[in-house]
Structure 1
Amino acid sequence: MTRRPAKPRLEWKSVRGIETPRHRITWTENGKRRERVITLDWKGDLAELDRLYWLCERGEHPAQKPKAPATSWRALVVAWRSDPRVQKHLSDGTKISYRRTMDALLEKNADKDVRLTTRAHVRAIHDKLAATPRKADHHLQVIRLLWNYAKNKLDWPLGDNPAGGIDLYGTTREFLPWPEWMVEKLAEAPHDVRVACELILGTGQRPNAAIMMRHDDFSDEWMWVWDEKGKDRFQVYCPPRLRAFVASLRKHGAHLLAKNLTQGKGYDSVEKAFRTWRKTLGNAAQEYTLHGLRKLACIELAEGGAGDAEIQAVTGQSAKTVAYYRRLADKKKLSRSAQTKRERNKNET
Structure 2
Amino acid sequence: MKRSQKPYVQFKKVGGRLRPYYRMTWFQDGRRRERFIPLPDDPDSEEFDRAYWAIRSGTSEALKKPERDTWGDLIRAYRAHPKFTRLAYSTRRSYDRILNEIAEKNGDKAVRSITRSQVRAIHAKYVETPRRADWMVQIISLLLNFARNTLDWNVENVAEGIELYGKQREFEPWPDWMVSALDTAPAAVRTAAELILGTGQRPNAAIIMRHDHFRGEWMDVLDEKTDTRIEVYSPPSLRAFLAAQPKRGTHIIAKNLTEPLGYSAIEKAFRGWRTGLGAKAKPYTLHGLRKLAIVRLAEAGCTDAQIQSITNQTPEMIAYYRSRANRKRLSKSAMTMMERNKTET
RMSD, matched Cα: 4.0
For residues 146 and 191 of structure 1, what CA distance do their matches in structure 2 show?
Answer: 34
Counterpart residue number, 1:12: none
One-letter code of the match for 2:233? Y
Tell me the residue number matched to 1:271.
267
TM-score under structure 2 normalisation? 0.59
Q: Which residue of 1 aligns with 2:340?
A: 344
Counterpart amino acid of residue 301 in structure 1: L
Distance in 2 separating the partners of 1:176 and 1:272: 19
- Residue 326 of structure 1 is aligned with which of 301, 322, 329? 322
Matches within 5 A, 1:5-20: none
Give yes or no for contact 1:93–1:231 (8 Å, CA) kept in 2. no
Residue among 169, 173, 190 paired with 1:173: 169
Give 1:214's aligned residue.
210
CA shift, 1:343, in A, is 1.8
Secondary structure at the aligned position of 2:115 is classed as helix
* Whole-Å separation in 1 of the counterparts to 2:232 and 2:315: 19
**Contact 2:253-2:260 within 8 A present in 1 as well:** yes
Q: Pick from 186, 200, 203: which aligns with 1:204?
A: 200
1:165-200 deviations in Å (ceiling 9; x for gaps) = xxx763331100001111111122111101111100
Equivalent residue, structure 2, for 1:71:
none
- Structure 2's unaligned 5+ residue stretches are 1-68, 80-95, 120-126, 153-163
The 1-side partners of 2:260 and 2:165 are apart by: 31
Q: Which of 88, 104, 107 lines up with 2:116 in the alignment?
A: 104
Equivalent of residue 225 in structure 1, options 211, 218, 221? 221
The corresponding residue for 1:187 is 183
The answer to whether structure 1 residue 142 and structure 2 residue 137 are counterparts is yes
Give the whole-Å Cα distance in 1 for the aligned partners of 2:210 and 2:118: 29
What does residue 89 of structure 1 align with? 101
Taking a change above 3 Å as real, the CA distance of residues 211 and 343 of structure 1, as seen in their structure-2 partners, is same
Measure how far apart 1:339 and its partner are.
1.2
1:255 alignment counterpart: 251
8 Å Cα contact 2:173-2:290 kept in structure 1: yes
Tell me the CA shift for residue 346 of structure 1. Answer: 2.3
Is the alpha carbon distance of 1:147 and 1:308 closer, same or farther for their aligned partners in structure 2, counting shifts above 3 Å?
A: same
Partners of 2:236 and 2:285 in 1: CA distance: 25
| Structure 1 stretches of at least 4 aligned residues deviating more than 6 Å after TM superposition | 75-78, 81-87, 91-95, 134-137, 148-152, 154-157
Cα deviations across residues 314-349 of structure 1 (Å, max 9, x unaligned)? 111111111111011000011111112222222333
Amino acid at match of 1:274: F
How many angstroms does 1:82 deviate by? 8.7
What SS does the corresponding residue of 2:237 show, helix, strand or coil? helix
User: Could you tell me which residue of structure 1 aligns to residue 55 of structure 2?
Assistant: none
- Classify 1:234/1:91 alpha carbon distance in 2 versus 1 (closer, same or farther; 3 Å): farther
Alpha-carbon separation, structure 2, partners of 1:93 and 1:345:
62
1:259/1:265 contact within 8 Å kept: yes
Deviation at 1:147, TM superposition (A): 2.9
- The corresponding residue for 1:241 is 237
Q: Which amino acid aligns with 1:211?
A: I
* 2-structure distance, mates of 1:89, 1:248: 40
Structure 1 residue 266, shift from structure 2 partner = 1.1
* 1:208 alignment partner AA: N
Deviations 1:225-248 (A, max 9, x none): 001112220111000100001111
- Mapping of residues 310-321 of structure 1, within 5 Å: 310-321=306-317
Counterpart Cα distance in 1 of 2:261 and 2:275 = 22
CA offset digits 1:251-309 (Å, max 9, x no partner)? 10000011111111111011101101111111111110000000000000111111110
Task: Tell me which amino acid in the other structure corresponds to 1:142.
Answer: V
How many residues align structurally? Answer: 236
What is the CA-CA distance between 1:217 and the residue it aligns to? Answer: 0.7
CA separation of 1:203 and 1:106: change in aligned 2, threshold 3 A: closer
- For residue 222 of structure 2, give the secondary structure of its aligned residue in structure 1: strand
Q: Distance in 2 between matches of 1:81 and 1:259?
A: 33
* Residue 41 of structure 2: aligned partner: none
Give the TM-score normalised by structure 1. 0.58
- 1:14 is matched with none
8 A Cα contact 2:211 2:250, kept in partner:
yes
Q: Which amino acid aligns with 1:103?
A: T
Kindly, what percent of the aligned residue pairs are identical? 48
Unaligned 5+ runs, structure 1: 1-74, 108-131, 158-167
Amino acid in structure 2 at the alignment position of 1:197? A
Q: Indicate the larger mover: 256-265 or 85-94.
A: 85-94
Distance (Å, rounded) in 2 between the aligned partners of 1:204 and 1:106: 22
